[in-house]
Chains A and B, each alone.
Chain A
Amino acid sequence: GENVEQHPSTLSVQEGDSAVIKCTYSDSASNYFPWYKQELGKRPQLIIDIRSNVGEKKDQRIAVTLNKTAKHFSLHITETQPEDSAVYFCAASRTGGFKTIFGAGTRLFVKA
């Protein structure tokens, strides 16, 4: 079945450093790849997404890259700040699939 693997499970960085989270998906028909941020006790919220017809997308300090051949996609956060501390989820879905499959999450700690 469909599966999304996410690494690392925990990531600790110093404020100002970059953070990279990597995901791999199994369903080659997947064509939409969102990233969600979940702060403690809150709901997951979309921070950036990428579609299969694009290789890279950037929004201020966050960027996402997609390698369709390898079925890999990654989240890059530059100049990290303490408020970036949260759990980040990658996910994948496909046209007509009616479901989004989530990775297991990465707990990011940004130390001031």
Chain B
Amino acid sequence: DTAVSQTPKYLVTQMGNDKSIKCEQNLGHDTMYWYKQDSKKFLKIMFSYNNKELIINETVPNRFSPKSPDKAHLNLHINSLELGDSAVYFCASSRFQNLGTGELFFGEGSRLTVL
């Protein structure tokens, strides 16, 4: 059973289009995240959600809109795609612990290519 699953795995699209990535976790975790990994492998946090509520928005452009319909799901919609949005997007989850965020469980990643 996949703990954190995200779809689609690959996305190729034209500039200006809108696309969505879906994420689901079956670990019963309270907190979910979106991370962006660029071509240099740098992992940058975009959003954190706790119990469906947005907690962190790391100065991400308004074109990116996350949605959490319930604790197990966190989707990412991107409007008006730009070349610089090309990256691998990782969904992750963690059980919020008293000391830090605890272990992050990552999905397989969604590779977005904007042409």
Interface membership of chain B positions 14-44, coded 1 if the CB is closer than 8 angstroms to chain A and 0 otherwise: 0000000000000000010100000011111
B48 interface residue per 8 A CB criterion: yes
Q: In the complex, which residue of chain A has the Cβ closest to the Cβ of B4?
A: A43
| Chain B residues within 8 Å of A102, by CB | 42-44
Among listed B64-72, B77-85, B99-107, interface-contacting one: B99-107
Known contacts being A43-B90, A102-B43, A105-B41, is A97 close to B100, with CB within 8 Å? yes
Q: Which residues of B contact A99 (CB under 8 A)?
A: 33, 45, 48, 56, 58, 101
Contacts of A49 in B (CB 8 A): 103
- Give the residue of A44, A51, A93, A107 whose beta carbon is less than 8 angstroms from that of B106: A44
Closest to B44 in A: A102
User: Among B33, B42, B104, which residue has the most Cβ atoms of chain A within 10 A?
Assistant: B104
Q: Does A31 contact B (CB under 8 A)?
A: yes
Of listed B45, B100, B108, residue having the most chain A CB within 10 A: B100
Asked if A95 meets B98 with Cβ closer than 8 Å, knowing A44-B90, A100-B45, the reply is yes
Q: Does B75 contact A (CB under 8 A)?
A: no
Contact of A98 among B43, B48, B99, B108 (CB under 8 A): B48
> Does B55 lie at the interface of the complex (its beta carbon under 8 Å from any beta carbon of A)?
yes
C-alpha spacing A52/B97, complex, angstroms:
14
The verdict on A31 contacting B41 (CB below 8 Å), with A43-B106, A98-B50, A99-B33 known, is: no
Provide 16 A-B residue pairs closer than 8 Å at the C-beta atoms, listed in order of the A residue.
A31-B100, A32-B97, A32-B102, A42-B108, A43-B90, A44-B104, A93-B101, A94-B100, A98-B31, A98-B50, A99-B33, A99-B58, A100-B33, A100-B101, A100-B104, A104-B40
Which residues of A are interface residues toward B (Cβ below 8 A)?
A: 30-32, 34, 36, 38, 42-46, 49, 51-52, 87, 89, 93-95, 97-102, 104-105, 107
Binding site for A on B (CB under 8 A): 31, 33, 40-45, 48, 50, 55-56, 58, 90, 96-104, 106-109
Closest 6 pairs (CB-CB, A-B): A32-B100, A93-B100, A43-B106, A102-B43, A98-B48, A93-B101
